[in-house]
Chain A
């Protein structure tokens, strides 16, 4: 399949690098300032090298990539809130051209799910977004296989940065600021960790899950979620939790009555939900098959690219 990859960050560049291994051809790659387009396949290594040296993958315009030759558009530009632009218009453009869309960008389906679904209904193209929830973990495809109607609740840990901070605080008895600084040194937390520590990133993922589970009966956006972050949780809170064989994790859930909640919660210290480090976990409560746990690496370039390419593999041939 011919892929146009929008965004050359950790995920976009990994998709471009791995596409060949999965039998696909990258016909366009863009970043925030430019693009490289070639109907016969671009030279991915050269484009990424150019980005490192000169700041952009190429001199073509992003619109050239959008209008260029591809079967599936991979939207891997940074997640934006509210109108979810420019990601949303990229999705719109590709669907109007009857092309498939694979999203790694959470914005369009967390903030404008209904519109994306309507555009998809009018298009020959399909929209898939496994990579937006839990990186490499097969969460959405599992829900799809089981059927959203057969799943009552979803809960779990879907932010590796917050999980790393809380598990380090509990294990080492260190305070929040100290562990955050350490996480930034290790590259686990970004220089501006707001999105992660305030719960926004996890909330977007649970909003997407809520949209998928509601299956059109109700539409969710970030505003519908009850979100509390882990910022400034004192070490003493973790210490008291540990004394009681519990610990604190940033847990998100879509409750049986359809509410989306993200916040620090007490969970059994050695229970399944208390994953350590940057690991993620999602628990699905199924109606007929009990509880199903999916855990693994919920972020990272090659990990998320793996989910993107799995989606590409699920797309029908055009």
Chain B
């Protein structure tokens, strides 16, 4: 395999912007100025974060070296970079929770996962065939930083234990060297 640093790769950058006019443009300028080629912008206006910010997902192409420059420039411009590229949030973790998921405040469970771990929840599916006030299950997909999956699972177990939820873990978490 080639280790050439000149190779252009695709990256995803997740930003959180303050809800003010001009913020999106201000966030995109450092990308263009530092040699990034914008592929797509997903502006989640309807999806405000717990801190009242608006998440934006930007796909771009750049060489690894230029990409580092882009992230630095974004941070220098005061833009809140939540995730940068695949190399940081390199591990996807899928877990199934079961128990009284809805009764024990699912949105609180999700917020706590976001706040207390370095991982971010990227997907959620709920199955409650007996109705939401009975036993139900939820499948969560988390993007965790490389090497942090063990810690993420540990926190998740603690949150689940407090809510008397059962966690069905993936095989790799906590099992790898």
Contacts and interface: CB of A to CB of B under 8 A. Distances in A.
A284 to B, nearest CB: 14
B158 to A, nearest CB: 15
A267 B169 CA distance: 9
Contacts of A244: 94, 125, 139
Interface in A218-259: 233-237, 239-241, 243-244, 246, 248, 251, 253, 255-257
The interface size bin for chain B is: 20 to 34
A251 B170 CA distance: 10
Interface string B112-149: 00000000000001011100000111110000000000
Given A236-B98, A244-B139, A265 B168 contact: yes
Given A155-B171, A251-B171, A265-B168, A240 B138 contact: yes
Contact of A234 (B95, B125, B137, B174): B137
Contacts of B139: 240-241, 243-244
Given A236-B127, A243-B125, A267 B96 contact: no
The interface size bin for chain A is: 20 to 34
B169 A234 contact: no
Contacts of B128: 236
Contacts of A236: 98, 127-129, 135-137
B46 interface: no
B22 interface: no
B175 interface: yes
A237 B96 CA distance: 6
Contact of B94 (A235, A239, A246, A264): A246
Most A CB contacts (10 A, CB to CB) among B139, B174, B177 go to B139
A266 B95 contact: yes
Interface of B: 94-96, 98, 125, 127-129, 135-139, 166, 168-171, 174-175, 177
22 contacts: A155-B175, A233-B168, A234-B135, A236-B98, A236-B136, A237-B98, A239-B137, A240-B127, A240-B138, A241-B168, A243-B139, A255-B174, A255-B175, A257-B177, A263-B169, A265-B168, A265-B169, A265-B171, A266-B94, A266-B171, A267-B170, A267-B171
Q: What are the 8 closest A-B residue pairs judged by CB atoms, nearest first? A: A236-B127, A236-B137, A240-B139, A237-B137, A237-B98, A266-B170, A256-B177, A237-B96
